[in-house]
Amino acid sequence: MRVKIEESWNNVLEKFFIKDYFKLLVQKIKNEYKYHKIYPKGDKIFNAFNLCPFDSLKVVIIGQDPYHGKGQANGLSFSVEKNIKIPPSLKNIFIELKNNYPEYEYTDGDLSRWANQGVLLLNSVLTVRKSEPGSHSNIGWEKFTDFVIKNISSKKRNVVFLLWGKYAQSKSRLIDENKHLILKSSHPSPFSAHKGFFKNFHFKKTNEYLLSNNINEINW
């Protein structure tokens, strides 16, 4: 089936899109949008892919599922729309950015500026019911996003994977660490940020690795 997704991603993922498994997933998601309030908006489901083409991808940041509050989710992990209050985990990400780059300032929680530079902000689950975190876990998205991670690992070189928290770290099994850099720490959530997320210097380490491989760094 034809999926509305950026062309270089379509070339990588088209084998998955034609599987009966994916067609069933699409049908489930269409029914969810029909009978429930689902986030993000339908045209933002593949936003992470559309803003960060496969051909220009440098960094992957893996989240779990979208924010479930009104107007928050914009299809990018950890990111919210410009006019939305910045959630606690993202606030801690910005604090750590300031640890890396003291001059760093932010005005909103929209991370599309990262995506446009080659950062894939990938949630493992791409949709969620309003006010029901985890409600779309185990309906099929994980198989799709695992396929995405495997293809990045096998088809690209020198990508930085930022795995924050145990859930994201469980995806390391899909990544060839001989070809890529995997950086792990606790999750930026207020419950765990003090257990290793703060002062992990992942943003600086990412740029150092990219530069060492003659890849343009990210302007965080």
Name the β-bridge partners of 59.
119, 160
Whether omega for the bond prior to residue 88 falls within 30 degrees of 0, making it cis, is no
Q: Check: pTM over 0.75? Answer yes or no.
A: yes
- Tell me the angle at which helices 141-155 and 20-35 cross, rounded to the nearest 10 degrees: 130
pLDDT at 161: 98
Residue 109 reports pLDDT greater than 80:
yes
Which of 65, 108, 110, 146 is catalytic? The answer is 65
For position 217, what pLDDT does the model report? Answer: 98
Q: If pLDDT is split at 50, 70 and 90, which confidence band does 13 have?
A: very high
> What are the distances in angstroms from CA 137 to CA 1, 114, 142, 145, 203?
23, 26, 8, 12, 29
Q: Is 110 a catalytic residue?
A: no
pLDDT recorded at residue 1: 61
Q: Does residue 78 contact residue 138 with C-beta atoms inside 8 Å? A: no
pLDDT tens sequence across 68-90: 999 999 999 999 999 999 999 99
169-178, pLDDT tens digit by residue? 999 999 999 9
- List, for residues 160-169, the tens digit of each pLDDT value: 999 999 999 9
For residue 162, the number of C-alpha atoms closer than 13 Å in the C-beta half-sphere is 25
What average pLDDT is seen over the chain? 96
Q: Is the pLDDT of residue 108 over 70?
A: yes
